[in-house]
Structure 1
Amino acid sequence: MLSSTVCTVVSVAGLGIAALTAYRKRFLAATRIAAISLLPVGLAMTGVIDWLTGVVFKPVVWAGFGVLALSIVLFMIARAAERHSLKAGGSRKERRAAARQRGPEAVAPTASAPSLGAGARAAQPAAPPKGRSKGAAPQEDFSDIEAILKKHGI
């Protein structure tokens, strides 16, 4: 009952302000103010205000809001953990995509070593030259590539 009275008083005050605005020849603004000022009395007449006051003053409703907030917090924590795991090692889906980009792995990588000729040496890790320091960049050996190009007449 009290909430309906408050809503009516607020609506009457809003309509008074709308009348003063219309008196100043600002009809568009007066129409907006009148539309907004009629909302509280309309909500009171439909019973929404009584429902809202019933919701606000019930402890069970506030406990429900607490449970909803906890649910949102847990969801955010799960998302943050998922992003962290993606940065650290990636998901199974990302690992599969990376494997597809690398291409199929050889079942027996040394099985075709005799047919490669000079390329067979590239399959074994080369030892760094003894005269070089650790900071120097290793030279690339293009002899196997040259052999393949010569074989095909290029």
Structure 2
Amino acid sequence: MYDDATWFPVCAGLSALGVVAAFFAFRRRGAAAGLRLFGWAVLPMAIYLTGMVRLLWTVGAALVKWVSGFVFSPYVWAGLALFGVAAICLPVAAAMRRRRSRAGEVEAGRTTSGTRAAGSNAVGSNAVGSNAVGSKSAGANPGGTAKGAGKPKAVEQGKGRSKDKPEDPLAGFEDIDEILKRRGIS
């Protein structure tokens, strides 16, 4: 299908038409329009003289063959459907994983704060008893850390509570309330 004798008149004719159109564009719309059209006009002849016509023909024929095989093949459409399913499943799974890990962190925070609160109340009663005896560390906890460091707000608030007052039913939700406030929801 490819023949140099066939392509020379095609490329030369396209370049000649482009040069004539560039001349008229130069006269009517100015030098910039004429020069731009002249640049496009000489491209077909440059492609022919450099031997790129054969390359462009081969690429064009392969592209047409691929597109026609692509459009009319049920296997290709099935593959495209699977690409679509993958494009939906992967981001949804990643979002679910992020949500689950965040929920796990919040749940882990609740369980550790609950055990700390129970342990600190017991330690607090021992510390008060040892202070009455005359211990050196008046407010230190057995771990040697600073007072209140690393403890959630609910634990610190729970120390001064008397047994007569009922507990606040929303006492464990300070961290969730803080997250909601940071995001501007509450």
TM-score, L = length of structure 2: 0.45
The equivalent of 2:93 in structure 1 is 85
Alignment coverage as a number of residue pairs: 118
For 2:59, which of 32, 55, 61 is the aligned residue?
Answer: 55
- Counterpart-to-counterpart distance in 2, 1:43 and 1:58: 19
1:21 Cα deviation from its structure 2 partner: 2.0
1:25 Cα deviation from its structure 2 partner: 6.1
Question: Does 1:39 find its partner at 2:43?
Answer: yes
The equivalent of 2:170 in structure 1 is none
The equivalent of 2:21 in structure 1 is 17
| Higher relative contact order (CA closer than 8 Å, sequence separation 6+) | 1
**Consecutive unaligned residues in structure 2, runs of 5 or more:** 123-155, 163-186
Tell me which amino acid in the other structure corresponds to 2:118.
Answer: S
1:77 Cα deviation from its structure 2 partner: 3.1
Residues 1:37 and 1:58: Cα distance change in structure 2 (over 3 Å): same
CA contact (8 A) 1:22 1:30 kept: yes
CA contact (8 A) 2:117 2:158 kept: no
1:94 Cα deviation from its structure 2 partner: 4.6
CA contact (8 A) 1:18 1:33 kept: yes
Question: Does 1:8 find its partner at 2:16?
Answer: no
Residues 1:25 and 1:86: Cα distance change in structure 2 (over 3 Å): closer
Seq. identity, %? 18
Question: Does 1:100 find its partner at 2:130?
Answer: no
Tell me which amino acid in the other structure corresponds to 2:100.
Answer: R
- Counterpart-to-counterpart distance in 2, 1:114 and 1:97: 26
1:34 Cα deviation from its structure 2 partner: 0.5
Residues 1:97 and 1:48: Cα distance change in structure 2 (over 3 Å): farther
1:109 Cα deviation from its structure 2 partner: 4.3
Residues 1:9 and 1:85: Cα distance change in structure 2 (over 3 Å): same
- Counterpart-to-counterpart distance in 2, 1:147 and 1:97: 26
Tell me which amino acid in the other structure corresponds to 2:101.
Answer: R
The CA deviation string for residues 63-102 of structure 1, in whole angstroms up to 9 with x for no partner, is 8x849x77x8344431212234356xx12x5533443355
Residues 1:76 and 1:45: Cα distance change in structure 2 (over 3 Å): farther
- Counterpart-to-counterpart distance in 1, 2:117 and 2:159: 18
1:56 Cα deviation from its structure 2 partner: 3.4
1:8 Cα deviation from its structure 2 partner: 1.9
SS in 2 for 1:57: helix
- Counterpart-to-counterpart distance in 2, 1:147 and 1:108: 11
Residues 1:110 and 1:4: Cα distance change in structure 2 (over 3 Å): same
- Counterpart-to-counterpart distance in 2, 1:147 and 1:101: 20
1:62 Cα deviation from its structure 2 partner: 2.2
Residues 1:7 and 1:97: Cα distance change in structure 2 (over 3 Å): farther
Q: CA RMSD in A?
A: 4.3
1:41 Cα deviation from its structure 2 partner: 1.7
